[in-house]
């Protein structure tokens, strides 16, 4: 009797709360699927991330992915710009690289993760091989420390390249090229050779190219902070000059012609670079312009430097190196210059460029 009574009570309760029970069950099932879908979406996102990283590594040199370490450093502050004494951004939002504006450790991590290889190109034709020893020795100390580097040395005298031991991950690659009687021609023909080798070789071997003069020495860090699609360097003689004072090519008959009301900076011919594709584009365009001038018996006022400046007016660099990256000790040590990273080596122009004078090798 009592059991029957209990059964009817339970039945009653069940029918009373049936709706609630079914509602609860539905909620539970919905919740389960939502959770499951959330989980698999997350998983999918991570695996996409891993896939691209793996593919990228394969495209580069098949080396394993580097795990992210902790990133501990003082955080950037909206109201505390690191430099207020110099321009750090162009109107087209390309950063201008000054000491204090970047954290090399963060950048090193980024570029190491991508296993970046950098090609440093330098021409040492005829007597300019005398500059190689100092150039390479200082590059070993200061240039792209901790990264993979190939020194591409264009020369007509490969036997004169100093026999140096370079650090692990770095390599000296001699490239035999012809010489020309005039130093101006040698300087200009660099554009032709760089464009040719970029397409034939560099594109398969390195990610970025850094193209510099031989009569130079590194005297402080020059690292991955300079790397970008395409970059140029502000000439130390003109950083504060007005447009009209820039020694751009002003003859309208030349391909390098820049009108008085155009241009941003005066860039030096001795330090530019970028991805291999961008350097190929730049050097090809400059070489073609040099040849077009030649066919009209014209030579731009500062040779390939004039053409480079023209190029940068219409193809803006994505990064700009401050005069820290090209300085001449004859210009003193102004307050704004916190580091002198890349210096010209004083030379006796007549002696080093003159074919007949053999004082310097």
Q: Which residues sit at the interface with ligand UD2, rule CB under 6 A? A: 123-126, 128, 183, 186-187, 213-215, 235, 268-270, 302-305, 344, 353
Q: How far is the CB of 344 from Mn ion (least distance, A)?
A: 6
Q: Has 124 been labeled as part of a binding site?
A: yes
Q: Of 170 and 189, which has the nearer Cβ to ligand UD2?
A: 189
Task: Give the length of the chain.
Answer: 361
DSSP letters, 25-66, are HHHHHHHHHHHHHHHHHHHHHHHHHHHHHHHHHHHTT-PPPP
Q: Has 305 been labeled as part of a binding site?
A: yes
d(CA 352, CA 187): 14
Q: How far is the CB of 190 from Mn ion (least distance, A)?
A: 11
Q: Of 146 and 346, which has the nearer Cβ to Mn ion?
A: 346
Residues 6+ apart with CB under 8 A from 326: 233, 234, 235, 236, 268, 270, 271, 342, 344
Q: Has 328 been labeled as part of a binding site?
A: yes
Q: Has 247 been labeled as part of a binding site?
A: yes
Q: Of 111 and 135, which has the nearer Cβ to Mn ion?
A: 135
Nearest Cα to Cα of residue 255 among 322, 209, 210, 306: 306
| Contact yes or no for 150/119 (Cβ under 8 A) | yes
Q: How far is the CB of 217 from ligand UD2 (least distance, A)?
A: 12
What are the residues facing 232 on neighbouring strands? 320
> From the list Mn ion, ligand UD2, none, which binds 239 (C-beta under 5 to 8 Å, kind-based)?
none
d(CA 171, CA 151): 6
Q: Has 17 been labeled as part of a binding site?
A: no
Q: How far is the CB of 165 from ligand UD2 (least distance, A)?
A: 23
Binding site for Mn ion (CB under 5 A): 213, 215
Q: Is 305 a catalytic residue?
A: yes
Q: How far is the CB of 127 from Mn ion (least distance, A)?
A: 13
Which candidate in 192, 225, 304, 305 is catalytic?
Answer: 305
Q: Has 143 been labeled as part of a binding site?
A: no
d(CA 175, CA 119): 13
d(CA 184, CA 299): 9
Cα within 13 Å of Cα(208), Cβ side: 23
Q: Of 148 and 193, which has the nearer Cβ to ligand UD2?
A: 193
Return binding residues for Mn(2+). 213, 215
Enumerate the active-site residues.
305
Return binding residues. 123-125, 128, 213-215, 235, 247, 305, 328
Return binding residues for UDP-N-acetyl-alpha-D-galactosamine. 123-125, 128, 213-215
């Amino acid at each position: 009797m009592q059991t029957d009574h209990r059964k009817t009570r339970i039945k009653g309760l069940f029918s009373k709360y049936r709706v609630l029970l079914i509602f609860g069950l539905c909620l539970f099932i919905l919740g389960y699927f939502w959770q499951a879908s959330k989980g698999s979406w997350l998983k999918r996102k991570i695996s996409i991330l891993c896939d691209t990283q793996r593919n990228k590594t394969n495209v580069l040199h098949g080396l394993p992915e580097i795990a992210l370490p902790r990133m501990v450093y003082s955080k950037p502050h909206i109201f505390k710009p690191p430099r207020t004494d110099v321009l750090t951004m162009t109107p087209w939002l390309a950063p201008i690289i000054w000491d204090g504006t970047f954290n090399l450790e963060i950048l090193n991590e980024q570029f190491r993760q991508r296993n970046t290889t950098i090609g440093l190109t330098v021409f040492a034709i005829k007597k300019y091989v005398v500059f190689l020893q100092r150039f390479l020795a200082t590059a070993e100390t200061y240039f792209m420390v901790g990264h993979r580097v190939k020194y591409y040395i264009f020369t007509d005298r490969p036997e004169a390249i100093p026999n140096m031991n370079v650090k692990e991950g770095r390599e000296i690659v001699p490239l035999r090229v012809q010489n020309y009687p005039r130093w101006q021609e040698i300087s200009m023909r660099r554009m032709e050779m760089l464009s040719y080798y970029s397409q034939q070789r560099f594109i398969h071997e390195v990610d970025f190219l850094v193209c510099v003069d031989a009569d130079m020495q590194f005297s402080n860090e020059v690292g991955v902070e300079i790397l970008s699609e395409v970059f140029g360097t502000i000439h130390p003689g003109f950083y504060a000059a007005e447009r009209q004072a820039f020694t751009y090519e002003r003859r309208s008959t030349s391909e390098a012609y820049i009108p008085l009301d155009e241009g941003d900076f005066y860039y030096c011919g001795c330090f530019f670079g970028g991805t291999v594709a961008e350097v190929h584009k730049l050097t090809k365009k400059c070489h073609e312009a040099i040849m077009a001038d030649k066919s009209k018996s014209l030579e731009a006022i500062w040779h390939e430097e004039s053409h480079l400046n023209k190029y940068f007016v219409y193809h803006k660099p994505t990064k700009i190196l401050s005069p820290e990256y090209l300085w001449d000790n004859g210009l003193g040590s102004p307050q704004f210059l916190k580091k002198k990273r890349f210096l010209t080596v004083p030379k006796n122009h007549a002696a080093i460029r003159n074919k007949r004078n053999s004082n310097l090798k």
